[in-house]
Chain A
């Protein structure tokens, strides 16, 4: 499978014959991979395959790279040819494919992950989570933590929280939701509207935003109860877009594309974080030098607490009948029905609780930015959150946190690469999926055990049918 991912579109017919025909030299113990092609000499076969790949790349690169239109000095368009570049690219494809083929012929047989290796990984895993948590708690006080790092931390934690919220719907209940950002938007706008119109404080608006989002989660849940798989994904995607389009067009309420600005910032138990200090401000009360960093640190801890709340509730629920019913639903919906589980209610609670945490995160987003507009809630946000959950490993809390760190943090780390950033980013995602097809943390921990809890291999765990 990974061959086709690595080979990309350049494979052509030769690769298909590789996969389709069981190679003669293949032994049962080796999971996959082209055989050392017994009848044909391996070099000849590899060469033939590489030539095919090069031919495909010629077809692709001649129009894409070879021909280029430029504005001529006389303001007309002229065609410029770049055959040298095409030759270099085709050469690269040829050499790359050849090396890949040769490497696959000669690499050692891959051993299946043994129980011992899984155990070692699990033990490392038990250390990773507390370490990450400890690092997150002390980050604002570490020397060398700049405002930029704190802002990045807030961003990563927001996505961790969104990932954990979506994990309830996608990872536990197995319901593929491509419109999760809708609940993020509902939460953000709920806070923005309630605070600007009615002057309610952040701490009153936060639960209200969560409740609003949960309400919309149930509202979305009803029509999609009967849908599965691709159909469910498409309807949830449409729902996400509907919310965004309504936000753009309902100008009298939401301000349309201009959004809502001047959203009040959160206060620390009634103490404001005004830059100038002054009576009733945080710095005044604690006798500190007024500093804009105070608010950033406060926001950081706020999102950390919200994310940990999400995590705590999810972990608790997983050990409850409700959480087990979600996972059972992911494994087999028909069996659930035969056991007397109300499938409708179970799905709706998953949508509602997942949406509620999305709403909390949205309220936080609004108070942090002090400005919301529909532009922040496009489909790409849903896609990123879903990618975090899938890369992290469906249902795994630690995996989702790691994936959010890798994706959002990594994306920032590659800022210097400018336009090549997306390329590196896409490559990294493909690489993770090739090496760990079920996500960074693919094992499932049982919710209860008579003896010792043993992790369950991801191969046995269902992915849900929508």
Chain B
């Protein structure tokens, strides 16, 4: 395994009496696609929310090895985590529905553009430095629109796009923040098989572009197909950690997905793939 981009150590998250994440540790390697899987309620999304700063962990630490060296995400406020190079998408799509596709991608580049405006004064007056920055931002947006096959919809409101296109747009928007780690929360949910294929290709393209990926997914076809490394959670605990082949044959994983074998319920030959 190459150098880690993200290290999660002894992460604990309690909501009142409920421990949603219980001493979870794992690493995501630089340039890899790391998948986090587990049955419903296993704590996957909570882990995501902890990494992206929507929750503050009760215990433990999350270290990002970003462009500016090590950074503890557990002590970083939400909006700074994105600036440190972690972008995310949401399980239930969160686009700016009343804004056009292009505007969505420009909002994602807010910090870079805002820095070019000189406290907004230069921009109100229409100075040249800002114009150049905006042109660069549009070029970057066009690049990701091309990669997600949305270029012809650039001037349409995001809320009017079909579901699959909205999913792709959310990924394009996250990529416009220029992240080192992209966290995808169930990106294949609700997609048909052909769209899932395209999504897998897009995720590989992003990985090959140098951005590491952390993925939550229920579609085992997608997970087994594209992941380099899989972390399995159940009831807030990590139960397995390894390559897709290792996970597929892991007793604990099969038990978690199909129920424990104690009851002698039909010893189905189905692997974890069947749980999708």
Report whether B113 and A321 are in contact in the complex, using a CB–CB cutoff of 8 Å: yes
Contact A340 to B80, CB < 8 A, known contacts A328-B107, A451-B155: yes
From 113 to 134 in chain B, residues with beta carbon under 8 angstroms from any chain A beta carbon are: 113-114, 117, 120, 123-124, 126, 130
Report whether B159 and A460 are in contact in the complex, using a CB–CB cutoff of 8 Å: yes
Partner of A460, one of B88, B126, B157, B174: B157
Give, as a whole number of angstroms, the nearest-CB distance from B19 to chain A: 24
Report whether A316 and B123 are in contact in the complex, using a CB–CB cutoff of 8 Å: yes
How far apart sit A340 and B103, CA to CA, in the bound complex (Å)? 16
From 286 to 345 in chain A, residues with beta carbon under 8 angstroms from any chain B beta carbon are: 313, 316-317, 320-322, 324-325, 327-328, 331-332, 334-343
Report whether A332 and B124 are in contact in the complex, using a CB–CB cutoff of 8 Å: no
Report whether A341 and B79 are in contact in the complex, using a CB–CB cutoff of 8 Å: yes
- Cβ contacts B57-94/A at 8 Å (1 or 0 each): 00000000000000000000011111100011010001
Least CB separation from A456: chain B residue: B157
Question: Chain A residues near B8 (CB, 8 Å)?
Answer: none
Binds B, one of A137-145, A232-240, A373-381, A440-448: A440-448
- Any A CB within 8 A of the CB of B275: no
Report whether A341 and B110 are in contact in the complex, using a CB–CB cutoff of 8 Å: yes
Report whether B177 and A340 are in contact in the complex, using a CB–CB cutoff of 8 Å: yes
Report whether B98 and A331 are in contact in the complex, using a CB–CB cutoff of 8 Å: yes
Question: Chain B residues near A446 (CB, 8 Å)?
Answer: 99-100, 102-103, 155
How far apart sit A186 and B142, CA to CA, in the bound complex (Å)? 46
How far apart sit A462 and B95, CA to CA, in the bound complex (Å)? 11
- Any A CB within 8 A of the CB of B52: yes
Least CB separation from B154: chain A residue: A450
Report whether A454 and B124 are in contact in the complex, using a CB–CB cutoff of 8 Å: no
Report whether B114 and A332 are in contact in the complex, using a CB–CB cutoff of 8 Å: no
- Any A CB within 8 A of the CB of B97: yes
Report whether B100 and A339 are in contact in the complex, using a CB–CB cutoff of 8 Å: no
- Cβ contacts A342-373/B at 8 Å (1 or 0 each): 11000000000000000000000000000000
* Residue of A340, A450, A452 ringed by the most chain B CB atoms within 10 A: A340
Give, as a whole number of angstroms, the nearest-CB distance from B142 to chain A: 8
How far apart sit A297 and B79, CA to CA, in the bound complex (Å)? 50
How far apart sit A450 and B105, CA to CA, in the bound complex (Å)? 12
Report whether B82 and A450 are in contact in the complex, using a CB–CB cutoff of 8 Å: no
Least CB separation from B141: chain A residue: A450
Contact A321 to B123, CB < 8 A, known contacts A327-B96, A335-B90, A342-B79: yes
Report whether B99 and A334 are in contact in the complex, using a CB–CB cutoff of 8 Å: no
Contact A450 to B103, CB < 8 A, known contacts A343-B79, A460-B97: no
**Please, could you name 26 A-B residue pairs with CB atoms under 8 Å apart, sorted by A?**
A316-B126, A317-B120, A320-B113, A320-B120, A321-B107, A321-B110, A321-B117, A322-B123, A327-B99, A328-B96, A335-B90, A336-B107, A338-B54, A339-B82, A339-B87, A340-B81, A341-B107, A342-B79, A447-B103, A448-B106, A450-B142, A450-B155, A452-B155, A454-B155, A456-B98, A456-B99
* Chain B residues with a Cβ under 8 A of chain A: 52-54, 78-83, 87-88, 90, 94-100, 102-103, 106-111, 113-114, 117, 120, 123-124, 126, 130, 138, 142, 154-157, 159-160, 173-174, 177
